[in-house]
Structure 1
Amino acid sequence: MRRLVIEEAFWNLFPSCVIAVAVARNFDNRWLSRKDEVPSLPERLQAAAARAEERFRDVELAGHAAVAPWREAYKRFGAPKGNRSSIEALLRRVKNGKPLPSINPLVDLYNIVSLDFALPCGGEDLDVSSGDVRLTLARGDELFVPLGSETNEPPLPGEVVYADDGGILCRCWNWREAERTKLTETTRNALLCIEGVDDSFAVSVAKAMEELAEQVRCRLGGEVRTALLRREAPFFDLE
């Protein structure tokens, strides 16, 4: 049986991390089936971006409680300079007034949740991934082709990564997704993750996943199973 496994090397760096995970199966991620929704998901996404822009308008992001712990975490595993957490990148985009593109229903839903809860959210297509999914530290020679690219950009040794038997799914923990396992309109089965660096995020991470799972069930259909992973409970069945 395939699993998500958070390995001991990761826990040695981040012993109090909490990660909410979900497996969503047999959902419909096509725009066509939601064309008459009011408000539409793109409209809901822009509304979430507007809320976040207002909330963070006068905030220095680098020192904010939603961002500063991630900066410290990235320093801890030696992330390349300029590589920032997905939540910092998302908040900077809306804070700077840059349009937030609508990608597909599932990605829009997790971006809405990410903005509303100020937490990193991401997902992978389970039908494209291979073997167990591992949150671990990279060797440095794994295959990684980033989203929108055809060029291999391997991680640094010791970098926090999501990986499977085919290579890296996401570099620098939640910085950059892989092209291979990206969520598309044809995705029917997905792994979703919402991450908190330490226990102080536990309540918001759990609430965010509860909201995301409910939105996926209501809007995309299918079945969703969730769990909250900690050091004492580091596994989640993907089947």
Structure 2
Amino acid sequence: MQKIIIDQEFWDIFPDVEIAVMTAHDVDNHNDTNVPDNLIQTANEVAKKWVPDDPISANPVVKAWRDAYRKFKTKKGARNAVENLLKRAKNNKGVGNINPVVDVYNSVSLEYAFPIAAEDLDKIVGDVHLTVAKGGESFTPIGEDEVEEALPGEVVYRDDKDIISRCWAWRDSARVADTDETKNLLFYMENIQPDRKDDHIAAANALKTRFHDYLNIDINDLTFLNKDNREFVFAK
């Protein structure tokens, strides 16, 4: 049995966060027959509504994440992944098509302004912890060969092998990244703004719906983690 476990060290910093978690199984990441041709293009346009003001940090969804990142140790220049997506959309340099799975979850992330991580479930070693790094834990980011080390006090996702996401929701590990050959996926999507609870629920359900409608995959284990519900079993 494998779980996501959110450690007390995290809740000591962020007691009001909620995280939507779910899994998808038997995915065919080559079949985009039912994925709308304009899915990502439309999502990039919708995303602009979240960042109408300049500078981008003046917009509430971005400001909230900037404020959150000041509460723990981060690598210089680290920004939450959703800020990077929204910035590209705002600057008319939106995200392009990658593969069916990535396009579907990126479309939800853009339209609802929440970060979504998708990890190859079969590559995860042991349990996943959202926790605070002691420092020195290894991490190899997507697209790079050089191994990095987490900073003491940095919020991270890690499994029993190493870091799978640095600076909370900044960069994911190459080791567990979803690829064209990925069959089983673990998703997590964080909400740090309590007043956006309804948006968070809608985004999680949109991801479920799009996996069903576009990829013919039923997701049946959507769960919301919080300080009173800290664990989620993702593999028996």
Give the TM-score of the pair, scaled to structure 2: 0.94
Match of 1:90 among 85, 104, 118: 85
Following superposition, the deviation at residue 38 of structure 1 comes to 6.6
Is the aligned partner of 1:199 residue 2:184?
A: no
When residues 236 and 58 of structure 1 are mapped into structure 2, their CA distance, relative to the original with a 3 A threshold, is: same
Partner of 1:235: 231
Name the SS of the counterpart of 2:149 in structure 1: coil
Q: Structure 1 54/197 Cα, relative in aligned 2: closer, same or farther at 3 Å?
A: closer
2:32 pairs with 1:39: no
Whether the aligned pair in 1 keeps the contact of 2:131 and 2:157 (CA below 8 Å) is: yes
The partner residue of 2:133 within 138, 160, 167 is 138
Structure 1 residues 38 and 146: alpha-carbon distance in aligned structure 2, compared to 1, 3 A threshold: closer
Amino acid across the alignment from 1:219:
Y
How much has 1:54 moved relative to structure 2? Answer: 5.7
Percent sequence identity over matched residues? 38
Mapping for residues 57-68 of structure 1, pairs under 5 Å: 57-68=52-63
Instruction: Name the residue aligned to 2:104.
Output: 109
Structure 2 distance, partners of 1:141, 1:223, is 39
One-letter amino acid of the structure 1 residue matched with residue 135 of structure 2: G
**Offset from partner CA, 1:60-107 (integer Å, 9 cap, x none):** 321212111111110000223311111111111111122412221111
Q: Does 1:16 align with 2:16?
A: yes
Gaps of 5+ in 2: none
Q: Matches of 2:196 and 2:231 in 1, distance apart?
A: 19
Distance 1:151 1:127 in 2: 23
Task: Provide closer, same or farther for how the CA distance between residues 171 and 60 of structure 1 changes in structure 2, counting only shifts above 3 A.
Answer: same
SS at match of 2:47: helix
Q: Provide Cα deviations, 1:149-196, integer angstroms capped at 9, x if missing partner.
A: 111011111111110011111100110011111111111111111111
Q: CA offsets, 1:189-228, max 9 Å, x none?
A: 1111111114223221111011101111222233422101
Q: Does 1:147 align with 2:145?
A: no
Contact 1:28-1:222 at 8 Å conserved across structures:
no
How far does the alpha carbon of each residue in 1:103-161 deviate from its partner, in whole angstroms, 9 at most, with x for none? 21111111111111111111110001110011011121112000001110111111111
* Structure 2 letter corresponding to 1:17: V
Write the distance in 2 (CA, Å) between the matches of 1:34 and 1:105.
6
- 1:162 and 2:160 are equivalent in the alignment: no
SS at structure 1 position matched to 2:5: strand
Q: Secondary structure at the match of 1:127?
A: helix
Taking structure 1 as the reference length, the TM-score comes to 0.92
2:168 paired residue among 158, 166, 173: 173
- Structure 2 contact 138–149 (Cα < 8 Å) conserved: yes
